[in-house]
């Protein structure tokens, strides 16, 4: 489990406080220096975020929208904010997509002397393969341009997107953005060229044998083909095998499925503003995470930091002019339904 940027959350608390108490363009009063020091000392001396994070990831580790874990997380964070004495703690319901991974995930290179199993997992939102799987030759590409240049050579094959994250990028998200398009759109691009499935190198810099899931999408005008991620180790191995035998065959089997939308909820709690309660400052994180792990970094840490931001202000006895609200948003990973529902409810009220 990655430790969240705890001290950064405390500094954000201070910024939040200043925005809550000071009008736009107004000079920040000197007395806030002492307030900031009080908040910092209180935050740094405690274990607030970490203990909440352990509770959330320990009791509801797999929180993909629609799952039992997501429902448990809604209950947990509602209880957290109630226990901490937040005002107006409530759930705001929304409908969310419900995708299940299924029990079967396998990728096997077929050879005369037997099979070579590769570590694989379905990408979020993928359709399943037929029960017996998809067996086909594999074509390796590093980019969509390279794929298109192959023309008819892709038809009937499994497309293997093997572009790693550039580890030299100082900006982490610049490196991520340079590789994630093949995961998001790889199945669509493969299908457009006549491919029967897409395999994608896991979007990570870790050279391990754990495949990383993540969201992928389809287009209504393009035939849907399955999409799956190979671990970095498996991707390197498959690439090496293809260099020795460009015509090797691989069997991919996935049993994932998309079920009808189900009800879920955002969780909301706040400190009511002393002078301008209808002016609201929102801090939050997304409560859902992919089903392969506990989502400690993405985004349980953001959720518990948002809760602690509000709790710290309450604990030191401050009474901000504006309402400060913590929101645990549901379904960021594969739909953004929680954020959209939060927006839509307030649009109707205005």
The set of catalytic residues is 332
Q: Is the dihedral of CA 94, 334, 72, 87 positive or negative?
A: negative
Per-residue burial over 306-336, b if 16 or more Cβ lie within 10 Å, else e, is bbbbbbbbbbeebebebbbbbbbbbbbbbbe
How far apart CA 125 and CA 128 sit, in angstroms, is: 10
Taking CA 51 as the corner, what is the angle to CA 124 and CA 48, rounded to the nearest 5 degrees? 115
Q: Which residues pair with 197 in a beta bridge?
A: 158
Q: Which residues pair with 249 in a beta bridge?
A: 110, 137
Residue recorded with tokens 């090496």: 240
The structure tokens listed for 48 are: 């607030």
Are the C-beta atoms of residues 193 and 147 closer than 8 Å to each other?
yes
The structure tokens listed for 249 are: 């065959």
Helix (H, G, I), strand (E, B) or coil at 66: coil
Helix (H, G, I), strand (E, B) or coil at 121: strand
How far apart CA 346 and CA 200 sit, in angstroms, is: 39
The structure tokens listed for 163 are: 């572009």
Give me the phi and psi of 344, to 5 degrees please: -65, -40
The closest alpha carbon to 199, from 189, 208, 174, 103, belongs to 189
Pairing mode, strands 134-141 and 249-254: antiparallel
Q: Which residues pair with 235 in a beta bridge?
A: none
């Amino acid at each position: 489990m990655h430790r969240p940027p705890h001290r950064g959350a405390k500094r954000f608390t201070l910024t939040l406080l200043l925005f809550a108490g000071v009008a736009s363009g107004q000079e920040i009063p000197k007395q806030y220096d002492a307030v900031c020091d009080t908040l910092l000392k209180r935050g740094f001396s405690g274990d607030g975020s970490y203990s909440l994070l352990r509770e959330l990831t320990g009791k509801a580790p797999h929180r993909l929208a629609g799952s039992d874990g997501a429902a448990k997380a809604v209950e947990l964070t509602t209880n957290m904010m109630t226990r901490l004495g937040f005002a107006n703690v409530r759930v705001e319901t929304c409908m969310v997509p419900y995708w299940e991974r299924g029990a079967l995930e396998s990728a096997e290179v077929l050879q005369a002397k037997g099979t070579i199993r590769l570590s694989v997992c379905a990408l979020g939102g993928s359709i399943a393969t037929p029960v017996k799987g998809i067996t086909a030759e594999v074509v390796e590409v590093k980019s969509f341009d390279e794929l298109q240049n192959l023309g008819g050579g892709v038809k009937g094959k499994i497309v293997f997107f093997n572009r790693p994250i550039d580890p030299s990028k100082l900006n982490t998200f610049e490196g991520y953005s340079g590789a994630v398009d093949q995961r998001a759109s790889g199945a669509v691009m493969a299908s457009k060229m006549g491919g029967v499935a897409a395999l994608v190198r896991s979007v990570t810099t870790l050279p391990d044998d754990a495949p990383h899931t993540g969201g992928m999408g389809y287009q209504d005008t393009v035939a849907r083909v399955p999409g799956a991620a190979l671990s970095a180790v498996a991707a390197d191995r498959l690439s090496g095998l293809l260099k020795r035998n460009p015509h090797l065959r691989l069997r991919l089997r996935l049993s994932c499925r998309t079920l009808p939308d189900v009800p879920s909820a955002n969780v909301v709690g706040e400190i009511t503003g002393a002078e301008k309660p209808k002016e609201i400052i929102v801090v939050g994180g997304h409560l859902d995470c992919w089903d392969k792990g506990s989502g400690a970094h993405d985004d349980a840490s953001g959720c518990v930091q948002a809760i602690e931001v509000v709790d710290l202000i309450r604990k030191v006895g401050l009474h901000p002019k504006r309402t400060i609200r913590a929101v645990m948003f549901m379904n960021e990973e594969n739909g953004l339904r929680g954020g959209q529902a939060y927006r839509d409810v307030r649009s109707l009220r205005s």
